Amino acid sequence: MRAADRLSVAAWPGFANRTGNPYNRLLYAPMGDLGVDVHEFTVPRFVQQRYDVWHLHWPEGLARSGADIRAWLGRAAFQGLLRLARRRRTRVIWTAHNLGAHDEASPDQADTFWRQLAQHLDGVISLSAAALAQLEACHPSYRSVPSRVIPHGHYRDVIGSVPVQAEARRVLGLGDVGPVVAHIGAIRAYKNVPKLLRAFAAMPDQQARLLIAGAVNEDTLEAEVRSLARADPRVHLWLGYQSDEQLAHVVAASDVVVLPYQAIANSGSALYALSCDRPVTVPALGSMQELRTQVGLDWVQVYEGPFTPEVLSDAIAWAQQRSRSSRAPLDGLGWGEIAAQTVAFYRTLRPPVHSL
């Protein structure tokens, strides 16, 4: 490919979050071979250098409530950078991992932020058709922004070799136990972890185990989770950042990963579990129905309505009794193909006209 045909992309973030969610580095790593040079976004670099594309992930942190001068300055600086991108005819693309910040406390402020962002966007990438429909229903201004559905990829390249279940249980000190349920990922109010703990407490099987691994962002929620876990010796709790090795052992030790979210657009935790070849039970919300279609009924169980002890019991029975292959069929979610679809979307978008 000629140098003139290569695209330069400022990714926010690109590789800087390699110790957190690996989505970005998995997405961008193949792009060099696709004619794209990806650079980590920094304000000084963005001001000094022109890029063809500015690819945003999780800008919703700027939409959170905050009346202090630093929060105001952060939002003002972001708007200034968006205007600079327009003057330089840099295409601005947002991957809508979520529909907004999960802890937005000021609806008016958040609505203003999302409306202003839509005015500067040249494209939106959604991880599912359902999530795109939700976005456009919540924020009608996005209906006029060019969009593309590109699914979330699997995590097999990060996980590597998945531990054998018996070995994972030995490493975690579980011993010879009955059914094992796991919940992984950052613990937030909308993820319903206290309800999962209460549903598990109602199960009479004393050989059952519940494994919960993830960081908590709220003191009150953490206190509630810890209190409920202490009340049931069958619960094993690992709060805080989890290494790749620890997380893989937690999932591998389980029979099923249960994610009883109250609201969800997309779930990296569900894909992580499937990447470890463990079935998942999720609500029939957001992209979960599409995930079931992609991976199959043997691997993704969805439930309607509220999460109850009966839903948990059904999940365990489904995971133990349904026959499935030893490996989840995730070939269609490889990062090479996802990167290629993303680059193709970059190239379909015309550079913006300097009008703002």
What pLDDT, in 10s, does the model give residues 33-45? 999 999 999 999 9
Rounded CA-CA distance 337/26 in Å is 11
What is the model's pLDDT at position 99?
76
Query: At residue 322, does pLDDT exceed 70?
Result: yes
- Give the model's confidence band at 72: pLDDT under 50 very low, under 70 low, under 90 confident, else very high: confident
Residue-wise pLDDT tens digits, 334-348: 999 999 999 999 999
Range scoring the smallest mean pLDDT among 99-108, 124-133, 215-224, 288-297: 99-108
The string of DSSP codes covering 274-325 is: HHTT--EEEES-TTHHHHHHHH-TTTEEEE-SS--HHHHHHHHHHHHHS---
Q: Is the pLDDT of residue 19 over 70?
A: no
Report the mean per-residue pLDDT for the chain. 92
Query: Residues 6 or more apart from 231 whose CB is under 8 A from it?
Result: 201
- Distance (Å, rounded) from C-alpha 101 to C-alpha 114? 11
Q: Bigger pLDDT: 70 or 181?
A: 181
